């Protein structure tokens, strides 16, 4: 189990470093808007930008992209033991992830 954890941690670190260097691999196959939104989100979190200053997602794709990106970033921060970054991401999730915060209505699909 420890070997698996080390392998996964190394894999996540490699993924994170390639993310920050702009080498997105499979993510490059996502819609350009989704890739750009994730880049902006990662940069904003790294720069210490408050979630209230981040442009609220306007479409369903943007909302889901931001939710998934925040969940990925939280998993990575926790795997690295970066508690400060994890707390920052949790604050962002409260603002942008309806499963982490209060339920909100999806304009594109009411009732879901």
What's the chain look like in SS3? CHHHHHHHHHHHHHHHHHHHCCCCHHHHHCCHHHHHHHHHHHHHHHHCCCHHHCCCCCCHHHHHHHHHHHHHHHHHHHHCCCHHHHHHHHHHHHHHCCCCCCCCCCCCCCCC
**Predicted pLDDT at 4:** 64
**Predicted pLDDT at 25:** 44
pLDDT at residue 102 greater than cutoff 60 = no
15-64, pLDDT tens digit by residue?
565 555 443 444 556 788 888 999 999 999 999 999 999 999 999 999 99
pTM of the model: 0.65
On whether the CB atoms of residues 64 and 24 are closer than 8 A, the answer is: no
């Amino acid at each position: 189990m420890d070997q698996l954890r080390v392998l996964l941690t190394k894999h996540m670190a490699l993924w994170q470093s390639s993310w920050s260097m702009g080498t997105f691999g499979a993510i490059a196959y996502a819609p350009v808007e989704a890739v750009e939104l994730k880049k902006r989100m990662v940069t904003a979190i790294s720069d210490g930008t408050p979630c209230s200053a981040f442009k609220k997602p306007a479409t369903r794709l943007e909302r889901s992209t931001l939710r998934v990106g925040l969940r990925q970033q939280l998993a990575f921060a926790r795997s690295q033991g970066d508690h400060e970054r994890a707390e920052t991401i949790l604050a962002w999730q409260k603002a942008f992830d309806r499963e982490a915060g209060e339920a909100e209505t999806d304009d594109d699909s009411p009732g879901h």
